[in-house]
Amino acid sequence: MRERLVTNPGGAILADEAVAVDWSPGHFEPGFWRGRGMSVEDLPGGRGTVSFVRTGDGEWVLRHYRRGGMVARFFDDHYLWQGRNRTRSFREWRLLKRLFELGLPVPRPIAAAWRRRGAAYTADLITLRIPGARPLSRHLAEAALPERGWARLGACVRRFHDAGVYHADLTAHNLLLDHAGHPWLLDFDRGRIRHQGAWRKSNLNRLLRSLNKISMENPSTQFAPGNWDMLMVGYDQSPA
């Protein structure tokens, strides 16, 4: 996958050179696609809404970067400008590109954009939708996951850890399962490649807290301590 950089007044777009699109900021807006008669689906996702649009190059996921926590009250979707290559969208696109080329189960990156407004900027990302995939949190609210499924999840996380991939928000919402039960990982905002260390354990603890949290918030969630034990069996074995 080769990078293609497109500059425009006040911003820039980084894209997969293989995607033959005459890129503009409008491509990152759901309204742009609706205005051209394209099918667009909006769904809640993380700290905002993600939009799915059917294109000639497959189904794309449009995501606008938004802040979480208390700071979102004041800045919402604005970030401090520190240079083009340090924008959240460019950094996540390049990390996804690297992971995709390593064969790890991540969404294929399509394009990333930023627009500068003085000392701040806003950012957007487009990835290819994973067919049939849905968050682990949603799956567990509807059905139990077999032991093999939990072991697969553990092996998946182990693959990322062995590659030195630190995920800043490893939760049951960012782990996906496709129709065949294969796990995927998405949302690498603030993720990075790190030397091996104690962060692996803290990453796993973050996931366990997430599973416990969704269990408390939704009594129908199918999660028990034995499930975590099976996840760790998969993690401790050789990566699948």
Q: Measure the CA–CA gap between 212 and 223, rounded to whole angstroms.
A: 8
- Establish whether 162 is a catalytic residue: no
Structure tokens at 181: 């039960």
Q: Is 86 helix (H, G, I), strand (E, B) or coil?
A: helix
E runs forming strands in 46-186: 48-55, 58-64, 79-80, 109-117, 120-128, 134-135, 165-166, 175-177, 183-185
Catalytic residue (choose from 124, 169, 187, 189): 169
Q: Measure the CA–CA gap between 194 and 165, rounded to whole angstroms.
A: 6
Looking only at the bridges linking them, the beta strands covering 165-166 and 192-193 are antiparallel
Structure tokens at 120: 């701040």
Q: Measure the CA–CA gap between 172 and 235, rounded to whole angstroms.
A: 16
Q: Measure the CA–CA gap between 60 and 147, rounded to whole angstroms.
A: 32
As a whole number of angstroms, the longest Cα–Cα distance in the chain is: 55
Point out which residues pair with 193 in neighbouring strands: 165
* Residues annotated as part of the active site: 169
